[in-house]
């Protein structure tokens, strides 16, 4: 499919609420074009030097680097400073059984994410909180790639309070008590583009 940067490939309606101020801090309707997206492969950057007797935390990180495949990430800006991203494993061998949808508050290293399990007949179910998407997966350069999502229900993503310096228990509690809540309205649709030979290529249009 030839690149048409001006043609609409998605439409999303969203709002983000600050739970402390009890007010909407970002909202809108965005018609997406291929040029709005950034696509990259995320590698697990763990060095062998991290694996030392004095740093036992290097063990799981090293194993993660060796055995976990890279992630394909597609993202676009909502309203500054919020960005929405779709990520899943980039490997032809494992197939595509799930993906991560995340909202990032740029500059503060804070994000909220929802994991979706892909079920039969092209649906994906969010684990926590519950939500459902219609999905389409297609082989791109021999790799399964998620190229379309449609919100069959409202989707909610929680951004917790800053977890820096918190214990595991405090961090888990922060997730259940989010600072920001993003709502993506039912009916929002995105044809996620692909990166082929360095160019953004649409996988469908509105």
Q: Is residue 119 assigned to a domain?
A: yes
Q: Is residue 64 assigned to a domain?
A: no
Q: Is residue 170 assigned to a domain?
A: yes
The parent domain of residue 118 ranges over 8-42+70-201
pLDDT of residue 61: 44
Q: Is residue 51 assigned to a domain?
A: no
Confidence check: pLDDT of 124 > 90 = yes
Give one DSSP letter per residue of 1-64, joined into a string: ----TTSEEEEEEEEEEETTTTEEEEEEEEEEEGGGEEEEEEP----GGG-BTTBTTHHHHHHH
Task: List, for residues 25-41, the tens digit of each pLDDT value.
Answer: 999 999 999 999 999 99
- Mean pLDDT for 87-96 is 81
Confidence check: pLDDT of 1 > 60 = no
- Mean pLDDT for 15-25 is 95
pLDDT of residue 88: 92
Name the helix (H) or strand (E) containing 65. Answer: helix 58-67
CA Rg, the chain, in Å?
A: 18
Q: Is residue 95 assigned to a domain?
A: yes
pLDDT of residue 173: 65
Q: Is residue 137 assigned to a domain?
A: yes
Confidence check: pLDDT of 59 > 50 = no
Q: Is 197 left (phi over 0), alpha (psi -120 to 50) or beta?
A: left
Domains held by the chain: number: 1
Cβ-contact 116, 163 below 8 angstroms: no
Q: Is residue 30 assigned to a domain?
A: yes
Q: What is the pTM of this model?
A: 0.84
Q: Is residue 188 assigned to a domain?
A: yes
């Amino acid at each position: 499919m030839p690149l048409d940067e001006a043609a609409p490939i998605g439409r999303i309606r969203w709002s983000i609420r600050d739970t402390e101020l009890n007010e909407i801090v970002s909202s809108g309707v965005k018609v997406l074009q291929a040029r709005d997206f950034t696509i990259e492969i995320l590698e697990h950057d763990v060095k062998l030097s991290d694996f030392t007797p004095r740093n036992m935390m290097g063990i799981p990180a090293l194993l993660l680097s060796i055995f976990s495949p890279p992630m394909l990430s597609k993202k676009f800006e909502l309203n500054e400073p919020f960005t929405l991203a779709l990520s899943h494993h980039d490997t032809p061998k494992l197939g595509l059984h799930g993906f991560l949808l995340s909202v990032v508050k740029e500059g503060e290293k804070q994000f909220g994410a929802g994991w979706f399990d892909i079920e039969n007949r092209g649906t994906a179910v969010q684990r926590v909180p519950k939500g459902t998407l219609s999905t389409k997966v297609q082989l791109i350069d021999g790799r399964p790639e998620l190229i379309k999502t449609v919100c069959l229900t409202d989707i909610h993503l929680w951004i917790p309070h800053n977890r820096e310096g918190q214990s595991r228990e405090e961090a888990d509690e922060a997730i259940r008590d989010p600072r920001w809540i993003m709502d993506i309205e039912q009916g929002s649709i995105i044809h996620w583009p692909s990166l082929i030979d360095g160019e953004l290529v649409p996988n469908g249009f509105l």
